[in-house]
Structure 1
Amino acid sequence: MSSTPAPPEEVRILVPSGMLGGGFPAGTVERGLALGADVIAVDGGSTDSGPHYLGSATAKTSAAAVARDLRSLLGASATAGIPLVIGSCGTGGTDAGVDWVAGIVEGIVREQGLALTVARIYSEQDAADLVAQLDAGRIHPLAPQGPLDAATLESCTHIVGMMGAEPIMEALEAGADVVLAGRATDTAVIAAVPLMRGMPAGPTWHAAKIVECGGQCTTDPRSGGVLATIDAGGFTIEPLDPAVACTPTSVAAHMLYETVDPFQMREPAGTLLVREATYRALDERRVRVEGSRFEPADQHTIKLEGARISGYATMSFSAIRDPHILGSIENWAALLEQVLTARVRQTLGISPPEYEIDLRLYGYDAVLESIDPATGPPREVGVMLLVHAADQATATSVAKIANPLMLHLPTRDMAYLPSLAFAYSPAETERGPSYEFALHHVVDVDSPTGMFRLRLPEGATR
């Protein structure tokens, strides 16, 4: 009669950096292995850089940077005999992103002669399937989004579902040494192995949240990775750079990062609750956290992310040093928009909203706009003009009409033509299609793995 093996006393997770391709200092992985890491986990993507990467199914990282990190991580996985889990492959987590990372992995595995079973988990969704779910009343908006319609789903170039830990656990239980997952919560790639090995959900999800960005929870975010050790009563965080420390403040502060509420965070399977958590320094470098809880949800949900083409953009950029213009830069910017609108109507016979102008004054208020606390005239200003239209030709035509204005437009009281400076030649740069996020919704699911497709090499065994 067989018995279920008892869970280990603790599970150690090595997180080398906040994102695959971001790099980490030499020695990071080796130190993590020396401390007894049971799994290596790293995030491979994000929506932080906007909708382009999901909409176009391309990566923000270079293949060379991803390969550099993978050479170290794959070698460590094979040497130590521990799994490597990567989520949100290719930035947006599309099927193409998973295959892109898998291609790099396969090349390194061949090059280094590594005996690793590599699993792929695809998270891309078919719009027609989601329309059926919508009609069944199983898709719901997240604030501040309103109701969804079929046309919005069908307009997306790519839609992904954000998986929790369960599809990753399924891949590991099926015999994978390396898991390359599509879109996943940042925490899921870290939580999968501890949950699979019987660690409590509260400390597991909380530790995963703290270490998701690698060294960001330390006194030096540039230092590289961290090691999280999870046990039945809580977890401990330790930086992998001996010269860097974790403090109760640096660890607790990460619950403020990308959360609506610093005391709770929703995952597909439930909600992490940390209001009662305590943060205690074990020594000058390590922090112990206890009191985290996880409340399972009555309904498992999968968040949907989708992007669609909103038009095409052309950009120009010039710089102003003229002190007279800088003394009334807001008036000059308003005049530029007024004159440009009139000339476009005269030349092309079109007016907004047939095109849109986004004029940003870098060095003045391009970032904070009206809430910028800076006072007084700036020393220099970079003027970025972004023209958005339904087609590339129109966007470029408008930008070209703006060209002489961005080079020589005087204020109304100037008796001479100033000379401003374009940053490059040609002045107009066609940016191609512009994407926008179209979905901020969740879908009710009967199975946490049902929306995702696991692919293992032929002959892989459990």
Structure 2
Amino acid sequence: MSDSTSPPRSVAVLVPAGMLGAGFDPVTVERGLRLGADVIAIDAGSTDSGPHYLGAAEPKTADGAVRRDLRILLHAAHEGGIPLIVGSCGTSGTDSGVQRVSGIVREICAQDGLRLAVSEIYSEQSPADLIARLDAGRIQPLAPLGPLDAATIGRCSHIVGMMGHEPIAHAIAAGAQVVLAGRATDTALAAAVPLMRGMPAGPTWHAAKVVECGGQCTTNPRAGGVLARIDEDGFTIEPLDPEAECTPTSVAAHMLYETANPFTMREPAGTLQVGDARYTAVDHRTVRVQGSRFEPADQHTIKLEGSAVTGYETMSFVGIRDPRILASIDEWAALLRKLLAERVESTLGLAESAWQADLRLYGHNAILDELERETTAPREVGVMLLVSASTQELATAISKVANPLLLHLPLPDMAYLPSLAFAFSPAHIDRGASYEFVLNHVVEVDDPLELFHIDIDLPEAS
């Protein structure tokens, strides 16, 4: 008879998709439960789509899509009696994002009669507290940014700290079955329960990295999620869709994803080392990984992400089909930039230093710009003019100055006025505030929990 206090031989982590709201087949989650999942983990956010979602504290995903996925996962957690962990709620992990997802969870639980203990972990940071930590020399820059100053902290509309697994484990240990975390490392969500149950850090963090995007580590990323089973000597991973496969190449390749070095990955508590990892096919769809190591850091750090308003934008979009312009499209674009600057100065009294205009030629070189090697004249081009200025009114005024140029600007040798095609009416769209990431720094902490506020709502006994 085994000692009930000893660590389990393995812990199985079910990751149904790369992001909450992306959708997945409920059958794959059911299969994960049958395979013995001990925890369900799913990410709900990212910085991939830029600084707007943090700066404006807005979600990227639709509430309806999030509600659909959550209903499936909440029922699975209830049926299996296992924790459900959601990280970076509301896309950027702001406090309002956590509250938004929490509201949906509580609505579903009330509607469907689910009694689940819910925990919210808040990751937004106080500018005053960070300035005090800065003054104490406890905030350091990450490349390519340099030293931080208090003014930059003050510019941010929202700042979040990226938690590791410790706040999540704390909430589960306190009785939470559903953990809704603010900004967190993608890997922390899958690593929390295995680490709590005594699994070694090397295989745990490596498995968590591989499964962070669900089926992306399989031969069919659209097929759904994966199940990783972590034990004392390594981990195995398999797709939840019977038609998909994990191969040594597809699993190993995920260490190339969003990492500066494919052999190492930094977490708040230390560094994962996979240079000696071995990837072995167990069968045609399951892979075994061994040899991963985790080196604890001397100093625990929490990464800070902050977004600040840089200006206000107005966009215009026009299509060009005129063959003479298309044959000399770069010359036409240079002429547009020159005339727009002259007209803005003469009509609005603004020098070029007071505003910006990003001109992109879709169908020509909008993606690669000067790196574009294809020199064949395009058949049609979509011209996007994105004006940025200190106020929305000013950005709109500049775009209106550009309107006649976008509609009828000829090349110098053209004896007629071309008619170009605006994509919509009115011809401009006010985009509102634009943001940029201004914090890419880490703050040194003595306690992994100290920057995070944890609420737990335990259901009353019936």
TM-score norm. by structure 2 comes to 0.98
Give the secondary structure class of the aligned counterpart of 1:438: strand
Alignment partner of 1:219: what SS? coil
Partner of 1:331: 331
| Residues 379-458 of structure 1 aligned to structure 2 (within 5 Å) | 379-457=379-457
Q: Check if 1:305 corresponds to 2:305.
A: yes
1:5 paired residue number: 5
Q: Which residues in structure 2 correspond to 1:217-232 (within 5 Å)?
A: 217-232=217-232
Correspondence 1:353 to 2:350:
no
* Unaligned 5+ runs, structure 2: none
- Separation of aligned partners in 2, 1:36 and 1:102: 27
SS of structure 2 residue aligned to 1:353:
helix
The answer for the alignment partner of 1:142 in structure 2 is 142
Contact kept in structure 2, 1:396 and 1:430, CA below 8 Å: yes
Using the TM superposition, give the Cα deviation of residue 427 of structure 1 relative to its aligned residue in structure 2, in angstroms.
Answer: 1.0
Counterparts of 2:160 and 2:460, CA distance in 1: 26
Query: 2: CA distance between counterparts of 1:170 and 1:458?
Result: 14
Over 3 Å counting, the alpha-carbon distance change for 1:201 and 1:15 in structure 2 is same
| 2:239 aligned with 1:236 | no
Q: Verify: 1:213 aligned to 2:213, yes or no.
A: yes
**Residue in structure 2 matched with residue 27 of structure 1 by the alignment:** 27
- Residue by residue, what CA displacement relative to the aligned partner does 1:273-308 show, whole Å, maximum 9, x if unpaired? 000001111111011110000000000000000001
SS of residue in 1 equivalent to 2:358: strand
Counterparts of 1:4 and 1:269, CA distance in 2 = 29
Kindly provide the amino acid, as one letter, of the partner of residue 419 in structure 1: S
- Measure how far apart 1:35 and its partner are: 0.7
Please give the secondary structure, in 1, of the residue aligned with 2:352: coil
| CA distances 1:125-146 after superposition (whole Å, capped 9, x unpaired) | 0000000000000000001111
- Preserved contact between residue 228 and residue 238 of structure 2 (Cα < 8 Å): yes
Matches within 5 A, 1:257-336: 257-336=257-336
Q: How many residues align?
A: 459
Question: What's the counterpart of residue 378 of structure 1?
Answer: 378
Once the two structures are superposed, residues 258-279 of structure 1 have per-residue CA deviations (whole angstroms, 9 ceiling, x without a partner) of 0000000000000000000011
Distance 1:170 1:341 in 2: 57
CA distance in 1, matches of 2:148, 2:380: 45
Q: What is residue 50 of structure 1 aligned with on the other side?
A: 50
Mapping 1:41-190, distance limit 5 Å: 41-190=41-190
Mapped partners of 1:208, 1:26: distance in 2: 22
Give the TM-score normalised by the residue count of structure 1.
0.98
Check conservation: 1:17, 1:23, Cα contact below 8 A: yes
Task: Tell me which amino acid in the other structure corresponds to 1:389.
Answer: A
Q: Which runs of 4+ in 1 moved over 2 A?
A: 458-461
Within 2, Cα distance between the matches of 1:14 and 1:358?
A: 44
**Whole-Å separation in 2 of the counterparts to 1:58 and 1:305:** 15
Distance 1:157 1:35 in 2: 44
Amino acid at match of 1:396: T
Partner of residue 192, structure 1: 192
- The C-alpha deviation readout for 1:315-344, integer Å capped at 9, x for no partner, is 001111111111111111000010111111
Return the offset for 1:457.
1.6
- Matches of 1:26 and 1:173 in 2, distance apart? 28
Q: Structure 1: 5+ residue runs without aligned partners? A: none
CA distance in 1, matches of 2:125, 2:71: 31
Counterpart for residue 362 of structure 1? 362
User: Aligned AA for 2:32?
Assistant: G
CA distance in 1, matches of 2:223, 2:351: 51
Deviations, residues 99-121 of structure 1 (Å, cap 9, x unaligned): 00000000000011001000000
Matched residue SS, 1:53:
helix
How far apart, CA to CA, are the structure 1 residues paired with 2:18 and 2:125?
26
Equivalent residue of 1:157, what SS?
Answer: strand
* Aligned equivalents of 1:280, 1:333: Cα separation in 2: 54
| TM-aligned CA deviation for residue 74 of structure 1 | 0.3
The one-letter code of the counterpart of 1:435 is Y
Partner SS for 2:395: helix
Q: Secondary structure at the match of 2:65?
A: helix
1:252–1:279 CA contact under 8 A, matched in 2: yes
Aligned partners of 1:343 and 1:401 also within 8 Å: yes
Partner Cα separation in structure 2 for residue 160 and residue 118 of structure 1: 21
Which segment drifts farther, 410-419 or 292-301?
Answer: 410-419
- The residue number in structure 2 matching 1:202 is 202
Q: Tell me, in whole angstroms, the C-alpha distance in 2 between the residues paired with 1:24 and 1:459.
A: 29
Q: CA deviation at 1:460?
A: 7.4
- Measured in 2, the distance between the counterparts of 1:91 and 1:177 equals 21
SS at match of 2:186: coil
Deviations 1:202-260 (A, max 9, x none): 00000000010001000011111000010011011100111110111111110000000
CA contact (8 A) 2:311 2:433 kept: yes
In the TM superposition, what is the alpha-carbon distance from 1:459 to its structure 2 partner?
6.7
Can you list the C-alpha shifts for 1:171-214, whole angstroms capped at 9, x where unaligned?
Answer: 00000000000000000011000000000000000000001000
Helix, strand or coil: the match of 1:456? strand
Alpha-carbon distance between aligned partners in 2 of 1:117 and 1:435, rounded to the nearest angstrom:
36
Aligned AA (1:297): A
Q: Secondary structure at the match of 2:435?
A: strand
